[in-house]
Chain A
Amino acid sequence: MKIAVVRFPGSNCDADALAAAAASGADAYYVWHRSTDLAGADFVVLPGGFSYGDYLRPGAIARFSPVMRAVASHAAAGRPVLGICNGFQILCEAQLLPGALVRNGGLSFVCRPVRVRVETDATPFTARYRVGQQLTMPVAHGDGRYVADDATLDRLEREEQVVFRYVGGNPNGAMRDIAGITNEGRNVVGLMPHPERASEALLGSSDGAAMFALAAAAAVA
């Protein structure tokens, strides 16, 4: 399993994502955002951070980085893409996922562990979890409030594209408590919480580790 962690100027969870990916036993490596290919990656991670300083809108400029054409092709081929926090914002800006992430309802930056419920196990990243299982992972964001129009939200619910939902408190005012979603092909997942910061017991939770340990079959699905 080859896992590419894309680095944008301003990414700051890239090292953590790489460590979590490597701990799953994968061949994990960085790809710079100016690169036009992913070096044969099976699975691509867009890590958290503040690409381009969140100028204009989070992810708005990063989505036009050269590497994003390769990420879009990878996604179109049905291969797995995981966007964490800023990575989720970039995937929405790139229209690889529907909706958008806007300023937190309470305006303040939230940085604390949250609980989310796994709403579907039918994605490569949640295949090792049970539907209904609750995970504890940290969030750290100022712009994490998921929004979309009602028709999109209804479609996400109906097609079981909501992957994670906040339980026991919604940290940012996200519509319908949405913490993570997938695309129609179910191979692209974005989430605001940080699984890489919950990837071993020493960090306070290892609930996120399985998100990096994809079944080999998922990579070629």
Chain B
Amino acid sequence: MRFRARVRVMPRPSILDPQGQAVAHALGELGFAGVAGVRVGRTVELELEAASADAARQGALRMCERLLANPVTEDFALDAVEAQP
């Protein structure tokens, strides 16, 4: 079966995120009020062949640990694992 897994990788809260700061600054310049903070990360979509949703999830988690996120600077979350037609 085919699954789509969506992985969210974000900079650790303890790591300064200059991209987020720059976006927050730009939003302020554009007149958007009330932006208390911005952080910029990345989303990775994986198309996976797996026997079950759980197997796809386990595979995606191992991919995060090995390559998709750097454990020193980033946290990751598996947002969704959806069966594909």
Binding site for B on A (CB under 8 A): 56-57, 60-61, 64, 92-93, 99-100, 102-107, 145, 147-149, 173
Contact = CB atoms under 8 A, between A and B. Distances in A.
Interface string B1-42: 000000000010011101100100000000000000000000
Interface of B: 11, 14-16, 18-19, 22, 67-68, 70, 72-73
- Nearest 4 pairs between A and B by C-beta? A100-B72, A100-B73, A107-B18, A102-B73
Contact of A107 (B14, B22, B68): B22
A147 B71 CA distance: 12
Contacts of B70: 57, 60, 93, 100
A64 B63 CA distance: 13
A89 to B, nearest CB: 10
A142 to B, nearest CB: 11
A148 B72 contact: yes
A147 B15 contact: yes
Given A99-B72, A147-B73, A64 B18 contact: no
Given A60-B70, A145-B16, A149-B14, 4 more contacts: A60-B67, A105-B18, A107-B18, A147-B15
A61 B70 CA distance: 12
- Count chain A CB atoms within 10 A of each CB in B14, B67, B73 and give the residue with the most: B73
Nearest to A102: B73
Contacts of A103: 18-19
Contacts of A57: 70
A120 to B, nearest CB: 23
A56 B68 CA distance: 7
A103 B74 CA distance: 13
Nearest to A103: B18
A104 B15 CA distance: 12
- Count chain A CB atoms within 10 A of each CB in B11, B18, B72 and give the residue with the most: B72
Contacts of B14: 149
A103 B19 CA distance: 8
A173 B16 contact: yes
Nearest to B68: A56
A92 B68 CA distance: 15
Nearest to A105: B18
A93 B70 CA distance: 8
B23 to A, nearest CB: 11
Contacts of B16: 105, 145, 173
- Count chain B CB atoms within 10 A of each CB in A99, A147, A148 and give the residue with the most: A147
A56 B67 contact: yes
A207 B67 CA distance: 36
A57 B71 CA distance: 12
A145 to B, nearest CB: 8
Contacts of B67: 56, 60-61, 64
